[in-house]
Amino acid sequence: MHEIELGVLAILGICVAGGVVGAWLFQKLGVPQVVGYIVIGVLIGDTGFGLLHPADVVALRPFNNFALGLIGFLVGGELSGSIFKKYGKQFTAILLGEGLAAFLLVGLSSTLIVYFVCHSWITAMAAGIVFGAIASATDPASTIDVLWEYRSAGVLTTAIIAIVALDDALAMTLYGLGTSVATILTQSGGDSIGTTLLHTGIGLGGSIVLGIAGGFLLNAMMHYMPQTEKRLGISIGILLLCIGLAVALGMDVILATMAVGIVLINRAPKRSKKLFETVRSFSTPIYIIFFVLVGARLSLGHMPVWIWGLVAAYVLMRSIGKWVGAYWGGRISKAEPSVRNYMGMAIFAQGGVAVGLSIVASQNLQHIQVVEGMNLGDMIIFTVTATTLCVQLIGPTFAKLAIKKAGEIGRNVTEEDVMAELKVADVFNTGIVPLQEGTPLGTVIQHFAEQDTFVYPVVSDNGTIIGVLTFDMLKELLIDRDSWHWLVVGDVMQPVCERLLVGMNLGEALLEMQNMQAEVLPVVESTENDKLLGVLDLREARRRVGAELVRRQTAAV
What is the residue-wise DSSP string for 200-225? Answer: HHHHHHHHHHHHHHHHHHHHHHHHT-
Residues 50 and 199 occupy one common structural domain: yes
Write the DSSP assignment of 264-282 as a string of letters. HHHH-HHHHHHHHHHHHHH
What pLDDT shows up at residue 2?
Answer: 44
Residues 89 and 144 occupy one common structural domain: yes
Is the CB of residue 392 less than 8 Å from the CB of residue 354? Answer: no
Q: Under DSSP, is residue 495 helix (H, G, I), strand (E, B) or coil?
A: strand
Condensed to tens digits (0 to 9), the pLDDT of residues 111-165 reads: 899 888 888 888 888 888 888 888 888 877 778 888 877 878 788 888 888 888 7
What is the residue-averaged pLDDT of the chain?
Answer: 76
Q: Which of 315-319, 332-336, 485-489, 508-512 has the highest mean pLDDT?
A: 315-319
Statement: residue 301 has pLDDT above 70:
no
Alpha-carbon distance of 418 to 420, in angstroms, equals 5
Dihedral of alpha carbons 432, 436, 441, 446, sign: negative
Statement: residue 541 has pLDDT above 90:
no
Domain that holds residue 152: 12-412
Residues 230 and 138 occupy one common structural domain: yes
Choosing from 377, 412, 447, the residue where a domain stops is: 412
Is the CB of residue 409 less than 8 Å from the CB of residue 394? Answer: no
Residues 281 and 400 occupy one common structural domain: yes
Alpha-carbon distance of 345 to 23, in angstroms, equals 22
Residues 104 and 154 occupy one common structural domain: yes
Cα of first residue to Cα of last residue in the chain, in angstroms, is: 56
Residues 147 and 120 occupy one common structural domain: yes
CA dihedral 164, 148, 395, 361 (to 10 degrees): -40
pTM over 0.95: no
Choosing from 356, 381, 412, the residue where a domain stops is: 412
Q: How many domains does the chain have?
A: 2
Residues 396 and 500 occupy one common structural domain: no
CATH assignment at residue 452: 3.10.580.10
Condensed to tens digits (0 to 9), the pLDDT of residues 437-450 reads: 777 776 776 666 66
Mean pLDDT for 191-195 is: 59
